[in-house]
């Protein structure tokens, strides 16, 4: 029994190492200078003979890369605000549409409900590569290609938030809603005063998952903003960094990761509650 437990512990530590090692390299690399980074990963960057390695801590810590990125790189801030302009409307729009739609699927009976929900599920599992051409043609017809709307509009109508919230709203006791109806509460009042507050953990889950997804979106901006690089989000900043600015790439990665990580850590309780209630299993 002890051997089995020891093997499980060893396996967990091994998995944790593979998860945290890249993050540790990113953080420590952001405090290294160009010469120190080349000392460790020069064989990889220059494709020359030799063994690549890494140091647990920087030998000569410096903030030069942070200064170069956060003070001397206006392009970084332009892409940062582009990301904010795209992500914020997407999340607000998703909540305004997904919450009432999910409530209708969860609490009401209407003709074609199962077929419509099946359509939502089908759209949810389709990868972007499958719908890319059709989406591009629709956006082109609407004349919003190469604008922020080409990113915002399709994602507002994402099926994933509806799926999560529908599962969550279904666990609300029907007896509670019936009691409210007997007291004379209207359907709108029940939705706003009971459904939304009781569904708050699920709504927070949708916001957190949506933020993480759209903050790191790559394929859609590359496809729909191909001719307007001035509208590109922060997720596309790294591809323009050359190997001689590797330390800046580490800093950019750390700065890009920070908002999503902080939101995840701050809302982890709500995220766990929402996913558990929705029945999603990892």
pLDDT digits (tens, 9 = 90+) for 47-98: 666 666 677 788 888 888 888 888 888 888 899 999 999 999 999 999 999 9
Question: Which of 112, 91, 260, 84 lies closest to 161 in space, CA to CA?
Answer: 91
pTM: 0.84
Q: Angle at which helices 113-125 and 74-107 pack, to 10 degrees?
A: 150
* Structure letter (DSSP) for residue 228: -
Among residues 210, 205, 214, 216, the alpha carbon closest in space to that of 280 is found at: 205
- Where does the pLDDT of residue 150 fall: very low under 50, low under 70, confident under 90, or very high at 90 and above? very high
Which pLDDT does position 279 carry in this prediction? 55
Of 112, 127, 195, 189, residue with least CA distance to 159: 127
Transcribe 3-16 into DSSP letters: HHHHHHHHHHHHHH
In the chain, residues under CATH classification 1.10.3720.10 are 74-278
With beta carbons less than 8 A apart as the criterion, state whether 132 and 243 touch: no
Q: What's the CA gap between 209 and 101, in Å, rounded?
A: 18
If you average pLDDT over residues 251-280, what whole number do you get?
A: 77
d(CA 136, CA 220): 10
What CATH superfamily classification does 74-278 receive? MetI-like (1.10.3720.10)
pLDDT in tens, 17-54: 888 888 888 888 888 887 777 777 766 666 666 666 67
């Amino acid at each position: 029994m002890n051997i089995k437990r020891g093997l499980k512990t060893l396996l967990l530590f091994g998995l944790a190492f593979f998860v945290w090692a890249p993050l540790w390299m990113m953080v420590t690399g952001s405090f290294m200078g160009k010469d120190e980074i080349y000392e460790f990963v020069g064989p990889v960057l220059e494709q020359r003979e030799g063994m690549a390695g890494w140091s647990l801590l920087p030998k000569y810590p410096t903030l030069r890369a942070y200064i170069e990125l956060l003070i001397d790189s206006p392009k970084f801030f332009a892409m940062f605000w582009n990301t904010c302009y795209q992500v914020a409307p997407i999340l607000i729009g998703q909540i305004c549409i997904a919450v009432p739609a999910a409530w209708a699927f969860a609490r009401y009976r209407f003709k074609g409900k199962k077929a419509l929900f099946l359509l939502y599920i089908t759209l949810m599992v389709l990868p972007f590569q499958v719908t890319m051409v059709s989406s591009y043609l629709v956006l082109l017809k609407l004349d919003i290609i190469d604008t922020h709307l080409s990113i915002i509009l399709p994602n507002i109508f994402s099926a994933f938030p509806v799926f999560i919230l529908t599962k969550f709203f279904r666990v609300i006791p029907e007896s509670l809603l019936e009691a409210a109806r007997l007291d004379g509460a209207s359907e709108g009042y029940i939705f706003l005063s009971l459904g939304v507050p009781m569904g708050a953990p699920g709504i927070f889950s949708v916001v957190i998952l949506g933020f993480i997804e759209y903050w790191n979106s790559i394929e859609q901006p590359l496809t729909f903003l191909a001719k307007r690089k001035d509208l590109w989000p922060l997720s596309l900043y790294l591809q323009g960094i050359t190997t001689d600015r590797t330390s800046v790439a580490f800093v950019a990665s750390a700065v890009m990761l920070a908002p999503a990580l902080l939101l995840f850590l701050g809302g982890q309780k709500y995220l766990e509650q929402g996913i558990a209630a929705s029945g999603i299993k990892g």
